[in-house]
């Protein structure tokens, strides 16, 4: 493994909402592999921790593959404890609460892969950990299920050893997991870890921009998930290899408008941009029964915009009022049933501004 | 001509710096043709006015065809006076100070076309005007020369009749001119009229977003113009008809990053995004002798980024310090000579935050 870590590991509080007016210098000079650190091995500051990581909405219409945001009150939990019965430097998965098809082999489980990556980055060699994963998110829903597990696990390891990794480093740990499960893309894992909206500026080196939706402004998402399997690989295969110049210019301008709407705290402008994709959504929506009708109904009912969340099948609409969001959600559920013959459930969730975080801990004895 | 003007004409002070946190509703329901207004014919409030409109930098790397900004202290002047010898409702061009090849026929002159458009929008039928155009910008330099003439003329007419048109309406008047001269694109005319950075969100209906670079932050442009003809049509022909998906995603993400850098007042991030275009600049730069070397030299000398201004041949680099900008400009001039065998001149100019404006007037007798 190449050593490509170019800066000293600095303590950081990743629960702070990071606002990035001047982009940080890239942390890594190369992204050839998982970075390793050669500083003193850290000791656990807790005997056990519990973390939560939120669901995420990636793509956001014209921002395909480079922008995502986190939604509050929906996500996965990871409980992690120091376990003398586990081989030092390794992770064992003791329990997966949720879908039975998830592997308990840490090398094949999103949370396990991310936890191992974070341990390697921290240089943990003398402590074994056991991990329990509680899935709050359905698999393959387009809500960043794998990213939430990975984010919760990476942050749990980091908290366990004194919070020494920077958010970008935690994203790298999570990316190892995403690469094995759904492809090397950071538009779910970055907002799952950092909260809010995160723009992926580049991968080599990894360069992330946290976009700050103003605190005083309301932003809510209506998330409507039908009972339908829309595998990421199939949805990726539907994408065109090339884009005509007029559509390229259009989508670029709408992506710019969406970023401006986020920074200006403008849900109307955000919704309008979200609805405007002429490249990806037109190819994918027909593959999800009823999706086109659901979008139409959402906008007619007063949503500021609507598109597919991630690779689907969840539909996401933007509003700034919870009650209105609930009514819109019901109409979207009806449309999935009427036009797509699919049962669906709806939720109204706020923008998550914090990202993956500690929700419980037991200090290590001194 | 279809009447497609849907709102009453409201007085507006277009010299205000417009900040657009929530996008305005479209003014026009269609953009089929020049809108006509049916309100009472306005009377001139001045016997003569003089206006200035700034140069503009369009495209800005990855923001091809939808984003431009205005630069201060460089542009065109229009002097306009009520002239009883001119047929009522018409414009006569009395003088063009500058390049001799510009027509004095108002139907073939950017300033004339925009002045006539603005008069029609205002419903001026009883007053004839004579116009003098003073070119401060070289033709075909990539600095929005035609847009500056059109903007100065449209604003002069508007000022003459009591400032009744909104900025979006003035842009429509200017677009009539741009369409005849260099193509139906608003990324020069919109910032020439409105100042600052303007994102063209859509044309049908016209929807413009003013992006506010924070007042307290410095932003300067090093503009280096070689003696070389780079006609817009030839530069357009160099563009690819289709864009591969990875390049599309890359440029979209950089466009989003550029918009964020503008709103965050981040010259470093702006320069980085400006330099990042993988679609247009790689096709056009080789057509301008020395351009690739000029960009390299600019960045090596400390510019935050560099690209082609508009369709060229001017190179634009971003800095936040005037003295540093001058040094960088000299090196860019040297590189044009050494690598492209072209003489060039350099200037360092600030972001213009105001746009086209009144610089002199004589009130009408009461």
pLDDT digits 0-9 by tens, B223-255: 999 999 877 678 888 999 999 999 999 999 999
pLDDT in tens, A46-86: 999 999 999 999 999 999 999 999 999 999 999 999 999 99
Q: Tell me how far apart the alpha carbons of residues A296 and A273 are, in angstroms, rounded to a whole number.
A: 15
The pLDDT, as a whole number, for residue B14 is: 29
**Residues of chain B positioned with their CB less than 8 A from the CB of A253:** 63, 65-67, 199-202, 255
Judge whether B245 is closer than 8 Å to chain A, CB to CB: yes
pLDDT bracket for residue A15 (50, 70, 90)? very low
Task: Tell me: cis bond preceding A185? Omega within 30 of 0 counts.
Answer: no
Cβ separation of B199 and A242 shorter than 8 Å?
no
Q: Tell me how far apart the alpha carbons of residues A31 and A169 are, in angstroms, rounded to a whole number.
A: 11
**Residues of chain A positioned with their CB less than 8 A from the CB of B239:** 245
Q: Tell me how far apart the alpha carbons of residues B60 and A196 are, in angstroms, rounded to a whole number.
A: 27
Cβ–Cβ pairs < 8 A, chains A and B: 135
B208 to chain A: nearest residue by CA?
A257
Determine contact, residues A299/A324, Cβ cutoff 8 Å. Answer: no
Which H or E run includes A191?
Answer: helix A189-194
Q: Tell me how far apart the alpha carbons of residues B186 and B171 are, in angstroms, rounded to a whole number.
A: 7
Q: Tell me how far apart the alpha carbons of residues A3 and A28 are, in angstroms, rounded to a whole number.
A: 10
A248, A261, A263: residue with CB nearest B248: A248
Decide if pLDDT at A104 tops 70: yes
Judge whether B272 is closer than 8 Å to chain A, CB to CB: yes
Determine contact, residues B174/B151, Cβ cutoff 8 Å. Answer: yes
The pLDDT, as a whole number, for residue A202 is: 94
Phi-psi label, residue A265: left if phi above 0, alpha if psi -120 to 50, beta otherwise: left
The pLDDT, as a whole number, for residue A3 is: 28
The pLDDT, as a whole number, for residue A62 is: 97
B242 to chain A: nearest residue by CA?
A244
Decide if pLDDT at A9 tops 70: no
Determine contact, residues B171/B191, Cβ cutoff 8 Å. Answer: no
Q: Mean pLDDT over residues A249-258, rounded?
A: 98
Distance (Å) of CA B187 to CA B68, B143, B236:
5, 11, 15
Decide if pLDDT at A356 tops 50: yes
Q: Where are the beta strands (DSSP E) in chain A?
A: 46-58, 67-82, 91-97, 129-134, 197-203, 206-211, 220-226, 242-244, 305-308, 315-319, 344-350, 357-363
Per-residue pLDDT of chain B (366 residues; tens, 9 = 90+): 232 322 333 333 322 223 333 333 333 333 334 555 546 899 999 999 999 999 999 999 999 999 999 999 999 999 999 999 999 999 999 999 987 788 899 999 999 999 999 999 999 999 999 999 999 998 889 999 999 999 999 999 999 999 999 999 999 999 988 888 877 889 999 999 999 999 999 998 999 999 999 999 999 999 999 999 877 678 888 999 999 999 999 999 999 999 999 999 999 999 999 999 999 999 999 999 999 999 999 999 999 999 999 999 999 999 999 999 999 999 999 999 999 999 999 999 999 999 999 999 888 887
Q: Cα(first)–Cα(last) distance of chain A, in Å?
A: 35
The pLDDT, as a whole number, for residue B120 is: 96
Q: Tell me how far apart the alpha carbons of residues B41 and A130 are, in angstroms, rounded to a whole number.
A: 81
Q: Mean pLDDT over residues A195-224, rounded?
A: 96
Judge whether A266 is closer than 8 Å to chain B, CB to CB: yes
Contacts of B179 (CB under 8 A, 6+ apart): none
Among A255, A270, A271, the strongest candidate for a mutation testing the B interface, having the largest count of B CBs within 10 A, is A255
Adjacent-strand bridge partners of B243: A243
- Start-end of H helices in chain B: 110-122, 145-160, 167-181, 189-194, 232-237, 245-264, 267-274, 281-284, 291-300, 322-340
The pLDDT, as a whole number, for residue B35 is: 56
Q: Tell me how far apart the alpha carbons of residues A232 and A59 are, in angstroms, rounded to a whole number.
A: 13
Of residues A327, A334, A329, A330, the one with CA closest to residue A317: A329
The pLDDT, as a whole number, for residue A8 is: 30
A22, A240, A269: residue with CB nearest B266: A22
Assign domain A220-350 to its CATH superfamily.
GHMP kinase, C-terminal domain (3.30.70.890)
Cβ separation of B199 and A260 shorter than 8 Å?
yes
Write out the two tokens for B247: 């390049």
Cβ separation of A255 and B253 shorter than 8 Å?
yes
Of residues A340, A65, A69, the one with CA closest to residue A212: A69
**Residues of chain B positioned with their CB less than 8 A from the CB of A209:** 257, 260, 269
Determine contact, residues A170/A186, Cβ cutoff 8 Å. Answer: no
Q: Tell me how far apart the alpha carbons of residues A326 and A124 are, in angstroms, rounded to a whole number.
A: 46
Cβ separation of A252 and B209 shorter than 8 Å?
no
Distance (Å) of CA B214 to CA A253, A269, B197, B261:
21, 20, 11, 10
Helices (H) and strands (E) in chain B, counts: 10, 12
Contacts of B177 (CB under 8 A, 6+ apart): B110, B111, B113, B114, B117, B146, B149, B150, B153, B189
Write out the two tokens for B181: 């001269």
Cβ separation of A22 and B66 shorter than 8 Å?
no
Judge whether B271 is closer than 8 Å to chain A, CB to CB: no
Judge whether B260 is closer than 8 Å to chain A, CB to CB: yes
The pLDDT, as a whole number, for residue A34 is: 53
Determine contact, residues B292/B286, Cβ cutoff 8 Å. Answer: yes
Judge whether B241 is closer than 8 Å to chain A, CB to CB: yes
The pLDDT, as a whole number, for residue B235 is: 83
**Residues of chain A positioned with their CB less than 8 A from the CB of B279:** 248
B23, B240, B261: residue with CB nearest A245: B240
Instruction: Tell me, rounded to whole angstroms, the distance of Cα B238 from its chain centroid.
Output: 22
Tell me which residue has tokens 């799952």. A192
Q: In whole numbers, what is the pLDDT of chain A averaged over residues? A: 88
Write out the two tokens for A182: 């759904």
Which sequence positions of A are flagged as catalytic? Answer: 178, 232
The yes/no answer on whether domain B46-213+353-363 falls in CATH 3.30.230.10 is: yes
Phi-psi label, residue B73: left if phi above 0, alpha if psi -120 to 50, beta otherwise: left
pTM over 0.80: yes
Which H or E run includes B129?
Answer: strand B129-134
Decide if pLDDT at A7 tops 50: no
Cβ separation of B263 and A265 shorter than 8 Å?
no
Residue spans per domain, chain A: 46-213+353-363, 220-350
Q: At what angle do helices B145-160 and B110-122 cross, to 10 degrees?
A: 30
Helices (H) and strands (E) in chain A, counts: 10, 12
Of residues A77, A83, A91, the one with CA closest to residue A120: A91
Q: Tell me how far apart the alpha carbons of residues B73 and B271 are, in angstroms, rounded to a whole number.
A: 21
The pLDDT, as a whole number, for residue B365 is: 81
Q: Tell me how far apart the alpha carbons of residues B116 and A336 are, in angstroms, rounded to a whole number.
A: 53
Å between A165 CA and nearest CA of chain B: 24
Q: Give the other-Cβ count within 10 Å of A63's Cβ.
A: 32
A211, A269, A272: residue with CB nearest B260: A211
Write out the two tokens for B51: 């206006």
Contacts of A74 (CB under 8 A, 6+ apart): A54, A55, A136, A137, A143, A223, A347, A349
Judge whether B249 is closer than 8 Å to chain A, CB to CB: yes
């Amino acid at each position: 493994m190449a050593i490509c870590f170019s800066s000293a590991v600095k303590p950081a509080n990743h629960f702070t909402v990071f606002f990035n007016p001047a982009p940080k210098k890239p942390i890594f000079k190369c992204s050839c592999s998982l970075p390793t650190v050669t500083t003193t091995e850290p000791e656990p500051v807790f005997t056990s921790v519990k973390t939560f990581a939120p669901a995420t909405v990636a793509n956001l219409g014209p921002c395909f593959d480079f922008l995502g945001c986190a939604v509050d009150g929906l996500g996965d939990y990871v409980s992690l404890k120091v376990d003398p019965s586990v081989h030092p430097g390794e992770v064992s998965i003791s329990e997966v609460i949720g879908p039975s098809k998830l592997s308990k082999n840490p090398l094949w489980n999103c949370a396990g892969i991310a936890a191992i990556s974070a341990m390697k980055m921290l240089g943990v060699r003398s402590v074994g950990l056991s991990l329990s994963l509680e899935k709050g998110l359905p698999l393959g829903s387009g809500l960043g299920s794998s990213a939430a597990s990975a984010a919760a696990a990476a942050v749990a390891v980091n908290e366990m050893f004194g919070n020494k990794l920077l958010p970008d480093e935690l994203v790298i740990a999570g990316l190892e997991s995403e690469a094995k499960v759904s492809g090397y893309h950071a538009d779910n894992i970055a907002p799952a870890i950092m909260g809010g909206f995160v723009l992926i500026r580049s991968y080599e080196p990894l360069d992330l921009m946290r976009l700050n939706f103003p605190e005083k402004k309301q932003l809510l998402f209506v998330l409507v998930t039908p009972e339908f399997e829309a595998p990421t690989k199939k949805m990726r295969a539907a994408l065109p290899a090339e884009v005509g110049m007029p559509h390229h210019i259009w989508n670029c301008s709408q992506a710019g408008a969406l970023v401006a709407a986020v920074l200006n705290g403008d849900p109307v402008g955000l919704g309008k941009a979200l609805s405007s994709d002429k490249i990806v959504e037109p190819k994918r929506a027909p593959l999800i029964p009823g999706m086109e009708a659901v979008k139409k109904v959402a906008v007619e009912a007063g949503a500021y915009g609507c598109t597919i969340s991630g690779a689907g099948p969840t539909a996401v609409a933007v509003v700034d009022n919870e009650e209105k969001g609930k009514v819109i959600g019901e109409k979207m559920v009806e449309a999935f049933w009427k036009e797509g013959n699919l049962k669906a459930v709806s939720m109204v969730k706020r923008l998550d501004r914090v990202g993956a975080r500690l929700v419980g801990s037991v200090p290590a004895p001194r």
